Amino acid sequence: MASSFYDGFSHDVPLRSVDADDDDEEPFPTSYCKSIICGSGKIESKCLVCLIATEPASSVFIDAYVKNKEENVLAKVYCGYETEDDIPVPLKKSKHKVCEIYQVTGQPGLFICQCYNKIQPEQSFSWVQQVFKYINCDKKSEIVVLSTEVLCDYKTDKPLSDIHPPFLSALYTSHTSPSSICPTLSQPNIISSLPAQIVVYCEVNDIKASFFVCYTDVINHDIMTVKSFLPILSLSSLSLLQENPEADKVLKDSLKNTESSLLYL
């Protein structure tokens, strides 16, 4: 089971369909659901704000508009391994297969976490537990989560002609005041996997959290999808971040080899 979240309430939903043949399936190995953090030791400062990109498009946004060249990786998060010795050496050298945690230069309480690939639902619980413990997250922290979903997963009574992707929607924990930068995600839309696990964790532990999802009609992220996250830079919690003056160039370089594929609905 995994937690899905909408309108301030969490709901348990099955991770996959269940049929009569499931009794014969091999369960996931214990190590598959685990997450390991390989970092530079214990972090002394408390987390005031953490900006989390949960998939490739939002990670590209952070690369282009938020991070600067001076920021170094504090730690990497690996999923599916019992110990650090189990992690293959090529994987340790490839940033596109892991999550990375940064501490913003000159702002010891401001952290950035980027997932270059989506975390599997079965691994989300361990991921959240390990990462939030590592960055010293508590009730004084504020979490901002970014993600994307394909338009065909968006549920609405409006005709398709009235929907103009990409567009941003938001969801907040009960401890967080809604922002005016975009509409709130409406029922019956839900969130799942890592974003849902983060929001549920924050709700249960009285931590302020804001979740922003971009609905897009492309499979591979494009410039318009990535730029849809720009309004989050006006959030008061992210006011200490300085937008990269070379953002557009970095963005174009990041996407030059990416082919955008339309989903015709």
To 10 degrees, the CA torsion angle through 2, 203, 191, 125?
-40
Assigned CATH for 45-234: 3.40.50.10900
Work out the pLDDT band at 265, boundaries 50, 70, 90: very low
Average pLDDT, the chain: 84
pLDDT tens-digit map of 15-36: 333 444 445 555 667 677 888 8
Q: pLDDT: is 88 or 164 the higher one?
A: 164
Q: Quick one: which of 2, 143, 117 has its CA closest to 58?
A: 117
Residue 264's pLDDT is what? 35
Q: Where are the beta strands (DSSP E) in the chain?
A: 2-6, 9-13, 35-39, 49-53, 73-79, 99-103, 110-115, 142-150, 167-172, 208-216
Tokens representing 6?
């909408």
User: Percent of the chain having pLDDT more than 90?
Assistant: 54
Amino acid at 131: V
What single DSSP character describes residue 184? B
To 10 degrees, the CA torsion angle through 136, 140, 146, 152?
120
Range from 37-41, 69-73, 222-226, 239-243 carrying the lowest mean pLDDT: 69-73
pTM of the predicted structure, to 2 decimals: 0.85
Is residue 101 over pLDDT 50?
yes
Tokens representing 115?
């997932």
Between the alpha carbon of residue 27 and those of residues 15, 83, 122, 198, the distances in Å are 13, 20, 11, 25
Residue 25's pLDDT is what? 53
**Average of pLDDT values for 105-126?**
92
